[in-house]
Copies of this chain bind each other. A is one copy, B any other.
Amino acid sequence: MKESGFKVTPWEVSGNIDYNKLIKEFGVSRIDGNLLERIRKHTKELHPMLSRGLFFAHRDLDWILNEYEKGNKFFLYTGRAPSGPIHIGHIFVWIFTKWLQERFDVELWFQFPDEEKFLFKNLSYEEVQKYLGDNMLDVIALGFDPNKTHFIIDTRHASLMYPEAVKVAKKLTASSVKASFGLNDSSNVGQYFYTCMQAVPAFLPSVIKKKNIPCLIPHAIDQDPHFRLTRDILPKLGHYKPASIQCSFIPPLTGISGKMDSSKENAIFLTDSPSEVKNKINKYAFSGGQSTIEEHRKKGGNPDIDVSYQYLRMFFEPDDKKLQKIYDDYKSGKMLTSELKNILIEKINAFLKEHQKKREKAAKAIDKFIFKYKA
Cβ-defined contact, A173 with B185, below 8 A: yes
- The answer to whether B170 and A119 have CB atoms under 8 Å apart is yes
Min CB distance, A188 to chain B, in Å? Answer: 5
112-150 of chain A: CB within 8 A of chain B: 115, 118-119, 125
On chain B, the residues within 8 Å of A172 by CB distance are 188-190
> Is B167 touching A125 in the complex (CB atoms < 8 A)?
yes
* Interface: A283 (CB within 8 A): no
Q: Smallest CB–CB gap between A93 and chain B, Å? A: 25
CB contacts (< 8 Å) of A263 on chain B: these are none
Stretch of A156-164, A317-325, A333-341 contacting B (4+ beta carbons < 8 Å): A156-164
Contact check: which of B162, B169, B173, B186 meets A175 at CB < 8 Å?
Answer: B186
Say yes or no: is A171 at the interface (Cβ < 8 Å to chain B): yes
Contacts of A171 in B (CB 8 A): 188
Write out the residue numbers on chain B whose beta carbons fall within 8 Å of the beta carbon of A183: 174
> Contact at A169–B189, with CB atoms within 8 Å?
yes
- For this chain, the copies found in one complex come to 2
> Which of B119, B167, B174, B186 lies in contact with A186, CB distance below 8 A?
B174
Smallest distance from the beta carbon of A70 to chain B beta carbons, Å?
31
Please pick, from B178, B186, B190, the residue contacting A196 in the complex, using a CB distance under 8 A. Answer: B190
A155 interfacial contact with B, CB 8 Å: yes
Residues of chain B within 8 A (CB-CB) of A224 are none
Asked if B188 and A169 sit within 8 Å, CB to CB, the answer is yes
Cα of A359 to Cα of B171 in the assembled complex, Å = 36
Task: Please report the total number of A residues contacting B with Cβ < 8 Å.
Answer: 41
Scan A335-375; emit 1 where CB is below 8 A from any B CB, else 0.
00000000000000000000000000000000000000101
Measured in the bound complex, the distance between the Cα atoms of B375 and A373 in whole Å is 9
- The answer to whether A16 has its CB under 8 Å from any CB of chain B is no
Within 8 A of B (CB), among A184-213: 184-193, 195-196
Minimum CB distance partner of A375 in chain B: B375
Which residues of B have CB within 8 Å of A373?
375
Cβ-defined contact, A162 with B155, below 8 A: yes
Residue A260 at the chain B interface, CB threshold 8 Å: no
Q: Closest Cβ of chain B: how far from A174's Cβ, in Å?
A: 5
Selected contact of A158 from candidates B163, B174, B186, CB within 8 Å: B163
Taking the nearest CB of chain B, how far is it from the CB of A105, in angstroms? 30
Judged by a CB distance under 8 angstroms, whether A1 is at the interface is no
A166 in contact (CB, < 8 A): yes
Contacts of A188 in B (CB 8 A): 169-174
Task: Please tell me if A222 contacts chain B, counting CB pairs below 8 Å.
Answer: no
For residue A174, which residues in chain B have a CB less than 8 angstroms away from its CB? 174, 183-189, 192
Additional A-B contact list (10), CB under 8 Å, known A118-B170, A158-B161: A154-B162, A158-B159, A158-B162, A158-B163, A170-B190, A174-B174, A175-B185, A189-B196, A190-B196, A373-B375
Contact sample, A vs B, 9 pairs, CB 8 Å cutoff: A115-B162, A119-B166, A157-B159, A159-B160, A172-B190, A173-B187, A174-B185, A190-B196, A193-B193
Chain A residues engaging chain B, CB cutoff 8 angstroms: 115, 118-119, 125, 154-163, 165-167, 169-175, 177-178, 183-193, 195-196, 373, 375
A-B residue pairs, 6 tightest by C-beta? A169-B190, A158-B162, A193-B193, A158-B158, A375-B375, A175-B185
